[in-house]
Structure 1
């Protein structure tokens, strides 16, 4: 499998809106380092059958797909219903046109209840012809219950996201775990034996109320011992070059457009 990190930022992107000249607030990151320019967190998984599975529809989806040269999506998995992970849902309209079919999408029952309240038009039946709106075909999945997408087996795990829950995803010997502040013992058991661990790391020090900080992530890595760990959902205090120079061997910051193969 091949993983393309479409976006690696927190919910506000980087730079955030504002700054002394109105051209962006870079926090404690270096604006001259291109890999500090980050869009909202999302990935594409390319399967052995060359199918593209998108994880989350971020507000930056159009720019992400065109920048990474990904011209088709075959299915979508949603980790949770926060705006930085779903607000690009209208971009699915173009993806519908490319595949000429409703988009198969996977998420928890609670997620679909929320999205149908906010984006009800995307779930109305499609009666053929031109796709003038996004059309999603929803499939319910549950933590701990493996499911298959386009021939690829996926095991979702329940994650503590502070004030809510999110889904982590294990795909073979790789895992994608964004928007998490704590794992329980069941999650740790699910994450044993990884070759690749893509994981939320929002702050350089203490945990954010809803996201893990670097000391917590380092403790997870010590416990799980994955072969390679890549940090995502990086906050405005997470400078790319500083992280490269200080992280232990086997751990590295992700960046928009990064490609990882397993």
Structure 2
């Protein structure tokens, strides 16, 4: 299984427009982060988790032109804003792209991208087919693979992570229920969000919280994503991380 980090930043990305923060001014390519998204390749099948506003550039940069499914963690703009740019993928594959998400998320997509779902389309629009996920206990099948939805919380909003075989991806979480922790036991690679090193925030994890979660799950390796500019410089932070915990960066490729 090949995993490509298409983006590892927060909703604002790095650099932030107009910011003079030292990280935003960094010349290190690892400090430049598009909105968080990940591409999983296995047996010539491509699965995308989240389709944010940077989707077009991410696909061009990684030289990918096909998708077999898109899994959506939740409906915030930095996770769905690129759905318009699925259209060239439709042309390449000559078929709609299936999208999987919570019922609430699918209903939100239908409102925000009403023209995609309109029965009277007057122009070329993205072609997608939607599948609702609201049973957190069961897996679903895509291209003969078992995909396990992972219930987490983003503040008061229930959102999803996803497990495929021994790889799991969780982003934007502020709380991971005990039942989800149990479903993550035995994985080899965990991708988990981090926001900043200190300063308690009401939404995604601080570093200490993320590391506590990794200790409970005990994956072989953990990669941190959804990173704020306030977290610090990539090279400096990575030196401070425990063994087998790594700071992900855009265009990083790993294998499971």
TM superposition score category, shorter chain reference: over 0.9
In 1, Cα distance between equivalents of 2:67 and 2:222? 26
Residue of structure 2 in register with 1:241 after alignment? 235
Alignment map for 1:50-89 (pairs within 5 Å): 50-89=44-83
Give deviations 1:60-100, integer Å, cap 9, x for gaps: 01111111111211211111000000011100111111111
Give deviations 1:22-73, integer Å, cap 9, x for gaps: xxx44546612110000000011112x2110111111001111111111211
Contact 2:194 / 2:207 at 8 angstroms: preserved in 1? yes
In 2, Cα distance between equivalents of 1:163 and 1:87? 22
Residue of structure 2 in register with 1:22 after alignment? none
Contact 1:126 / 1:135 at 8 angstroms: preserved in 2? no
Contact 1:93 / 1:131 at 8 angstroms: preserved in 2? no
In 1, Cα distance between equivalents of 2:200 and 2:2? 30
Residue of structure 1 in register with 2:36 after alignment? 41
1:163, CA displacement in angstroms? Answer: 3.3
Unaligned segments of structure 1, at least 5 residues: 20-24
Contact 1:81 / 1:114 at 8 angstroms: preserved in 2? yes
In 2, Cα distance between equivalents of 1:30 and 1:253? 19
* Aligned mate of 1:100, from 84, 94, 98: 94
1:151, CA displacement in angstroms? Answer: 1.7
Residue of structure 2 in register with 1:148 after alignment? 141
Alignment map for 1:190-201 (pairs within 5 Å): 190-201=183-194
Alignment map for 1:131-210 (pairs within 5 Å): 132-142=124-134, 143-210=136-203
1:208, CA displacement in angstroms? Answer: 2.3
Q: Name the TM-score, length of structure 2 as normaliser.
A: 0.94
After alignment, is 226-235 or 95-104 more displaced?
A: 95-104
In 2, Cα distance between equivalents of 1:213 and 1:169? 21
Give deviations 1:146-189, integer Å, cap 9, x for gaps: 00111221100111101312101111111000010111111111
Contact 1:6 / 1:43 at 8 angstroms: preserved in 2? yes
Question: What is the root-mean-square deviation in Å for CA atoms of aligned residues?
Answer: 1.8
1:124, CA displacement in angstroms? Answer: 3.3
Unaligned segments of structure 2, at least 5 residues: none
Contact 2:14 / 2:24 at 8 angstroms: preserved in 1? no
1:2, CA displacement in angstroms? Answer: 1.3
In 1, Cα distance between equivalents of 2:14 and 2:243? 26
1:207, CA displacement in angstroms? Answer: 4.2
**Equivalent residue pairs, number:** 254
